[in-house]
Amino acid sequence: MPVSSTVSHHIASVTFGGTKGNSLPGELLDELASTIESTAQRSDVRVIILRSDGDGPFCAGASFDELLSIADESTGKRFFLGFARVILAMTQAQKPIVVRVQGKAVGGGVGIVAAADYAIATRSASVRLSELAVGIGPFVVGPVIEHKIGRGAYGAMSLDADWRDADWAERHGLYAAVKGSIPELDSAVATCAANLGAANPDAVARIKRTVWAGTENWPSLLDERAAMSGALVLSEFARKSIRAFQTRKTAG
């Protein structure tokens, strides 16, 4: 299954993946958002750990094959709304979400990391917003990344589309902590989740609301941003750029 969920001792573990590089086709995005929403509503859950499959890349972002299959603006908007729904499910959940980042995160994957309440990564977990390199822009994930790391750092990530290492991500607040190995990462994630699970749930929920204050307009904002991306992805510039980018990744 692209998305799975288990609960033990008030800690839910939600895992997504099974695609190349743990990329995010529309069907997986919808299932991931629904799973986060339903898991956050469970009375026996106090904290959610969000992870991707395996120990390779955390998330390669949007599916290039699906981007190239978009034939009209409404289909494009619907696809990018999948990212919006995941971000909203994470930030609006009453339960804290700890994200385990074992490897590189690109595009929409960076948005998922930014929507975490607490993200822990390995030193190999570089981040990149590659959208401009394929003729579009990080419009849907932009608000949550800007909220987490600030406008200046987000603007730089958006415009040069280059890799930032895990230390950069930690300095700018995208990662709360960086660990040297997968075992250290898993230990830190488990400890963080256990501590949050043992804390006063009402206090934790109130802290989360204060952290995400000012995002109440995001449902309408992200709807507008999804429409922007859905239109841009249809341009000939974007089509050529996506094909070229896909060819380079395949050759690499």
What angle, 0 to 180 degrees and rounded to 10, lies between the N-to-C axes of helices 73-92 and 26-40?
30
- 149: Cβ contacts below 8 Å, ≥ 6 apart: 114, 157, 172, 173, 174
pLDDT 10s digits, 196-214: 999 999 999 999 999 999 9
The pLDDT confidence band at residue 252, using thresholds 50, 70 and 90, is very low
How confident is the model over 21-28, as a mean pLDDT? 94
Long-range contacts of 142-146 (CB under 8 A, 24+ apart): 142/225, 143/215, 143/218, 143/221, 143/222, 143/225, 144/87, 144/91, 144/111, 144/114, 144/115, 144/215, 144/218, 145/110, 145/111, 145/114, 145/174
Residue 107 lies in a domain: yes
Reading the block at residue 129, the tokens are 């917003």
Is 206 contained in some domain? Answer: no
Q: Does residue 96 belong to any structural domain of this protein?
A: yes
Q: Give the residue numbers spanning the domain of 142.
A: 3-180
- CA 82, CA 200: separation in Å to the nearest integer? 32
Over residues 126-170, the pLDDT tens digits come to 999 999 989 999 999 999 999 999 999 999 999 998 999 999 999
In a domain, 76, yes or no: yes
Instruction: Tell me the per-residue pLDDT of 95-107, one tens digit each, with 9 for 90 and over.
Output: 999 999 999 999 9
Q: What is the mean pLDDT of residues 62-68?
A: 89
User: What would the pLDDT profile of 29-63 be if each residue is shown by its tens digit?
Assistant: 999 999 999 999 999 999 999 999 999 999 999 98
237 falls within a domain: no
Q: What is the pTM of this model?
A: 0.95
How many domains does the chain divide into?
1
Closest to 113 in 3D by CA, of 158, 170, 56, 153? 170
Residue 80 counted as domain residue: yes
pLDDT attached to residue 249: 60
- What pLDDT shows up at residue 246? 74
- Closest to 110 (Cα-Cα) out of 150, 145, 152, 154: 145
Residue type, 29: L
Residue 251 pLDDT > 90: no
Is 81 among the domain residues? yes
Q: Which two tokens stand for residue 36?
A: 């986060």
Query: Residue 49: which CATH number?
Result: 3.90.226.10
Residue 238 lies in a domain: no
pLDDT at 1: 59
DSSP symbol at 199: S
